[in-house]
Structure 1
Amino acid sequence: MNVVGPLVLLCCIIGGYSSQLEVLNQWTLLNFDLPFEYSYEDIRLENTVFTGFEVTSNRIFLATPRLRVGVPATLSTIPRNTPPGSSPVLQAFPDWSMHGAVRGDVNCTGLISVYRIRADSCNRLWVLDSGVMTSLDDFTRVCNPKLMVFDLRTDQIVRTVIFPREVLRPSSLLTNLIIDEDVQGRCDSAFVYMSDTASPGLVVYDGLKDQAWRIMHPAFFPDPDFSDYNVDGESFTLMDGVVGLAHSPTLSTLYFQPLATDRLFSIPTSALTKGPPVEFEQMPVSLVGKKSSQGLGLTISLTDDTLYFSPLTETAVATWNPVTGQQRLLAYDSEKLQFPAELRWLNDGSVWLLSTRFQKFFKRTIISSEINLRIIRIPPKNGLSRGVNNHLLY
């Protein structure tokens, strides 16, 4: 695909790309329904930013990892149907007894630091707990990483997976997951693909065999040439490896991207699910294309395999279809689309995203009187019908 001009210039010329953004919820800083025994001296809302979410019929689940001290709960819920632009109070999930780490009450059977979550077709929520506190400051591992599965009918734990030592590294940070169900409704036999961002690699879990293994490839690593980011005129540096994941069941393909790169990669899921790789085995990783800038959020349409991604510098959401090659600019807004942490395609064809202004949380430049966090919905069929001049991926 040929590039004839930067995406950011196109965004400034074409109007109407922010008018389709539906701001479902927004906050200056997140607010939690704290139990009476919690002291506000322990809480640092200016350190609390969401990185992952899941949407069910009646709830939105929000993951707020403990990047720094003072994060009240690392997994919470709000009602799905609230007034547009409202700022609902977050409720700890499943309850506050699982979140004592904020007060120094570390219990490894509870939730330590969650980056992302996924629901399966059996109405269960898979929660990936990194086990790492204050990962931006001193990277303190207090518990082994684990997968916890909650039955959303009862909010009770039905399965816990503790990963064996051989699939981890001393600085492992598990940040994202994909649930690959071979047949809908057979959730216990699903494969789970997880990104290790700080010790770059993929961890694969076979739910039927209760076995995990590690996949390595240079494409999982960050590129030092892309470790500097500029969002709305504010720059910062972060050397994060693989974190963005999207799965196409029809193409049997896992798409992935490190944060510090302009590249998007893919690997056949058959290479992931066949079992632990043998020594010196070469993984069949392919370069899908190059983006206009770095990105974090990544999702895919289950109807036509269109990929949705968000180039950070351009404060935009874009699409690319690997089958047809068509590209589109889906949305652009220099204020509302600052650092989308996660994108999710829903069955009605809409795309939901978390807008976080992470650059301000990272640099401690948050202004508590400004809107810093948003849940945004992009309706179906938004964006250009012709994509040849959108210059999104090449």
Structure 2
Amino acid sequence: MKQMTLVLAIAAALMSGTATALVQPEEVFSWQELDFAWPSKEAEDEAVKNGEYIRENNLPLGIDAWKDKLFITVPRWKAGVASSLNYIDLRTANKSSPLTPYPSWEANKLPKQGQQPPENQIVSVFRSFVDTCDRLWVMETGLADILGSPHQVSPPAIVIFDLNTDKVLRRYLLKPEDIKGDDSFFANIVVDLQPGRCDEAFAYIPDLGGYGIVVYSFKDDDSWRIKHNFFHFDPLQGDMTVGGVNFQWTDGVFGIALGNPNENGDRTVYFHPLASTMEFSVNSHALKNRTLATDPHSYDLYKIEGTKGPNSQTSESTIDPKTEVMFFTQLQKDGTACWNVKTPLEPSNVGMVAEDTERMIFTNDITIDSDRNLWMLSDRMPEFIYRRLDPNQINYRIFKVPVDEAIRGTPCDPMYQQSTTLRNAQQL
């Protein structure tokens, strides 16, 4: 009876045109500039003196959660990045907590010329992925000072950590055929596996510059590269304005989100280029089977899901398994949107769950933790790249909101779908 009452209430709101999200996300962290948990004040002063730490050059980009740790990546866009892979202990954190290097300070230091780097060496990471087997996967680009004098410190590699021991389980160097010359740029990694089948994991690594996806099989310790027209950017959607900064990007396939597995353990893999408003999909079987994945005749296995609407360019996306709602960043709309994948992808089925023209400028990354909280990071990156951030204002923020609260009253809410069905029935 209570459920029917709620359905009727939502239906009434819809018919009056007032259905909206009911909550604002909690601002959990905010920084003017990033600080780090240095071993000592002397160590920090020495790093500043040597140019190893230039405070304004450290921009947070990726987030992921595991138990009481919130991982935060800081790519080496410019010189002076103190540590690329970091975390915050949520049990002791304050609103402007310093970042602690993971797994250690030593692992995040740039090696000296001629120095043999350790196995857990991390040069520059954009995003990470925590799987259900308590492993942290990172796509180590090995590239430093990207916007200044870029140099390849170490080969691109997948590095997998055991989060219970903080030890490296495996370091896999991408093969030359996985990389498309100087065009390749790896800024994301997503891991596909079934519960309890940790050794059968597959990693999907989009190449936004080389317009391909690299697939890695943990069991076979092997990788292969896939190409498809849907991995390319849309030339009509590369002109963007964010936070008053106009720029043109040609980023191809970027965000990947995994649907729920079917009885065979396969799932829908949703993906999109960044410079695009479209969403595409393919069954994971077409990626995990190397022969099929690299067969040109598999082209038609890829599908067009639809469009998110005007100015809806997206970096990251993720799906809540319980509701099958996809969340995706909205770079030009200063926020995060949602789409229930059980409905057709069209603008009327897309809802904004968070939007703030000041605090959410360039919502760069999102993740959902094991308690079904949606985390969002905004970092004003276009201003960081093309202008200069004001150190006297808050530039970086991390928000949190429960998934069910985020979608309430939006077209993504399952109750919304029920109320729409009821409304249509009343109109017959």
In structure 2, give the amino acid aligned to 1:222: F
CA distance in 2: counterparts of 1:331 and 1:70, whole angstroms: 33
2:78 counterpart of 1:68: yes
C-alpha deviation, 1:381, in angstroms: 2.2
Aligned pair partner of 2:47 in 39, 43, 61: 39
Counterpart selection for 2:290 from 261, 275, 278: 275
Q: How many Å apart are 1:49 and its aligned residue? A: 1.4
Aligned twin of 1:93: 102
- Over aligned residues, Cα RMSD in angstroms? 2.5
Contiguous gaps of at least 5 residues in structure 1: 1-12
* Residue equivalent to 2:32: 28
Residue 97 (structure 1) shift: 1.0
Matched, 1:177 2:192: no
Contact 2:74 2:85 in 1 (8 A): yes
Are 1:329 and 2:352 an aligned pair?
A: yes
Q: Deviations over 1:47-70 (max 9, x none)?
A: 221221111111111111111111
* SS across alignment from 1:127: strand
- Structure with higher Rg: it is 2
**How far is the alpha carbon of 1:360 from its aligned partner?**
1.4
Q: Which amino acid aligns with 1:338?
A: I
Is the 1:329–1:387 contact (alpha carbons within 8 Å) kept by the matching residues of 2? no
1:190/1:79 Cα in 2 relative to 1: closer, same or farther (>3 Å)? same
Change (3 A) 1:385 1:207: same
TM-score scaled by length of structure 1 = 0.88
Check the 8 A contact 1:100/1:106 in 2, yes or no. no
- For the Cα contact (< 8 Å) 2:259–2:324, is it kept in 1? yes
* Matched pairs, number: 375
Point out the more displaced range, 342-351 or 113-122. Answer: 342-351
SS in 2 for 1:46: helix
Structure 1 residue aligned with 2:328: 309
1:353 aligns with 2:372: no
2:237 equivalent in structure 1: 226
Q: Does 1:243 align with 2:254?
A: yes
Q: What is the 5 A alignment of 1:170-209?
A: 170-171=181-182, 172-181=184-193, 183-209=194-220
CA separation of 1:67/1:103 partners in 2, compared to 1, >3 Å: closer, same or farther?
A: farther
Q: Which has the higher helix share?
A: 2
Cα distance in structure 2, aligned partners of 1:14 and 1:28: 36
Answer with 58-67 or 215-224: which moved more: 215-224
Question: For structure 2, which runs of at least 5 residues remain unmatched after alignment?
Answer: 1-16, 417-428
Normalising by structure 2, we get a TM-score of: 0.81
Superposed counterparts of 1:100-179, under 5 Å: 100-101=109-110, 107=117, 109=119, 110-171=121-182, 172-179=184-191
The CA deviation string for residues 355-375 of structure 1, in whole angstroms up to 9 with x for no partner, is 111121111320001111111
| Cα deviation code 1:336-360 (max 9, x no counterpart) | 2211111112343321111111121
Alignment correspondent of 1:362 = 385
